[in-house]
A and B are shown apart, each in its own frame.
Chain A
Amino acid sequence: MSDLASIREIDAFAESLRKDFPILHRTVHDRPLVYLDSAASSQRPEAVIEAMDTYYRTYHSNIHRGAHTLGEEATAAYDGARTKIARFVNSPTPEQIVFTKNVTEALNLVAHSWGRANLGEGDRILLSTMEHHANIVPWFMVAEMTGATVEWVPISDDGVLDLDALARMLRGASVLACTAVSNVVGTLNPIADICAMARGEGVVSVVDAAQYTPHQVTDVVAIGADFLGFTGHKALGPTGVGVLWGRSDLLDSMPPFLGGGEMIEHVDYDGFSTAPVPAKFEAGTMPIAEVIGLGVAVDYLADVGMDRVRDHDVAILRYALAALTDAFGAKIRILGPLDPEQRSGLVSFELGDVHPHDISTILDQEGVAIRAGHHCAKPLHARFGVTASARASFQFYNTTAEVDQLVHALDIALELFGL
């Protein structure tokens, strides 16, 4: 058990950090906001907002071009953010960090650049059944272009990836697209083991860490993936910026994804040659303010300590799973594994015959923000025979009192529906 095990400790930890998040102090429908939708997008600390503000107010200019003071300051801040993020995910070099506009673009980059160059007729693409559409659709697109086929790695009834099936399927496959944490069932996959299995079969692994990076230490060396992506706005950073990390030899050998300014070394009447990585993949003017903001966000996370974030996560999950089952018993169906150690950050559920969309409207009246819908994971919902689910997701700034408020608001929903 962690040192944050007691409720008082969970709450003291959350309270000590909440003051850094201005938005958490607003009200919704005259009630204090209870923000339980961080898996859709986290909130961001003052420091991130301030860093972007300072950039625009004092040194905004384009980067990597021209030799004036503002340009030099902006370039230093942009490149500095790359170094911070490299350190944050333990990347051997900063050049292996490629900025994109979100994780969706990072995964598309891999599918279109690596995939189109390396896949062909008869090649097999493996997707876990718990992928977000962002790690599904690009692969379908590339399969269509190259003649490769898509196969689904099954999961168990409690939302755990079937590793035996995976081992069989990996033989002779080309690429495995796998999320580190499911954004619906919350499963924390044994992602390092999965990547090792893929590596053993010579299969390229593409890890979606969108829900993973905000909640525990992301160590790309320990994970051992070939590619790993995450998205800024779920990790306390701004919208409009995502990160792709990749193995150097793969990034070096891949063709560019988007063409334009910044990504070339040379252009003439006959064609172009590409700049070295990462510039090769960063065409056009990048989201400079957002990259700088994300650099500050990962510094903030590192200061808080990702081990403590994980401890808080497990503790509040344990509290929430117990509170929901105690309050609603057979009326609630929780998706995914019931052991908080096997989960990360979120709880999706069905409550009686109250549709998730109705739950979300009712909760909103109580100031409680959750997500309802298919969460961009339709194949996964189909696996569980539901079209939609309600999802409460947590970050370290959430308290047990907020979980209690969730339970209270769900009670109101049941009452309204006469259940």
Chain B
Amino acid sequence: MPQLDDLYKEVILDHYRRPRRRGTIDVPPATHARGYNPLCGDEIDMYVSVGDSGEIDAIAFEGKGCAISQASASMLTERVQGGTVADFGDAFDRFKAMLGLGDDDGPAFSTDEELGRQLGDAEALQAVREFPSRIKCATLAWNTLDQALAGRESFEET
């Protein structure tokens, strides 16, 4: 049976109550996307600004919602700040696999230690996998960042 203690770990509540990188960044130079979970009303506004060589120079978010969605946003921003867009793509794949959403989430599953390196604090969201109705809460910020970054590409193309 899934355990609530695993879902509401201290590190998750800490990010929920003291979100890192909460705020906004001017658009442009940043791009922005809004993610919304119509089921429960969770909202995330993601702002990201990317340098010429694809590094994430600045990232911030605002939002309202449950502990899982808001902690996930905070953990995500902390994890990707200073990394590259490609780096985020890898982490996102890993994150989805951890939640059972990847194409192959089978035997090659990382150890906690490895996961921690790949995902930072977001590794603590592992147990969400056992609560299917909450997976969308965990992925909301990640999908929203993905959109904000896609917005950057189309922005650059035009």
Contact = CB atoms under 8 A, between A and B. Distances in A.
Q: Please determine whether chains A and B interact with each other in the same assembly.
A: yes
Interface of A: 29-30, 353-358, 361-362, 365, 372-374, 378, 387-388, 412, 416-418
Given A373-B40, A373-B41, A374-B41, A387 B8 contact: no
Which residue, B1, B4, B41, has most C-beta atoms of chain A within 10 A?
A: B41
A381 B155 CA distance: 35
B42 A357 contact: yes
Given A357-B40, A357-B65, A416-B5, 10 more contacts: A354-B67, A356-B66, A357-B66, A358-B67, A361-B133, A361-B134, A365-B4, A373-B40, A387-B64, A417-B8
Contacts of B137: 357
Contacts of A357: 40, 42, 65-66, 68, 134, 137
B131 interface: yes
B39 to A, nearest CB: 7
Secondary structure at the B interface, as helix, strand, loop or mixed, is: mixed
Secondary structure at the A interface, as helix, strand, loop or mixed, is: mixed
Contacts of B65: 355, 357, 387
Contact of B41 (A29, A361, A387, A416): A387
Interface residues of B, number: 22
A30 B2 CA distance: 12
Interface in B37-96: 39-43, 64-68
B17 interface: yes
Interface in B122-143: 131, 133-134, 137
A353 B8 CA distance: 14
B33 interface: no
A417 B7 CA distance: 11
Interface in B2-53: 2, 4-5, 7-8, 13, 17, 39-43
Given A361-B7, A373-B40, A355 B67 contact: yes
A358 B68 contact: yes
A272 B21 CA distance: 64
A372 B137 CA distance: 13
Given A30-B1, A358-B8, A365-B4, A387 B66 contact: no
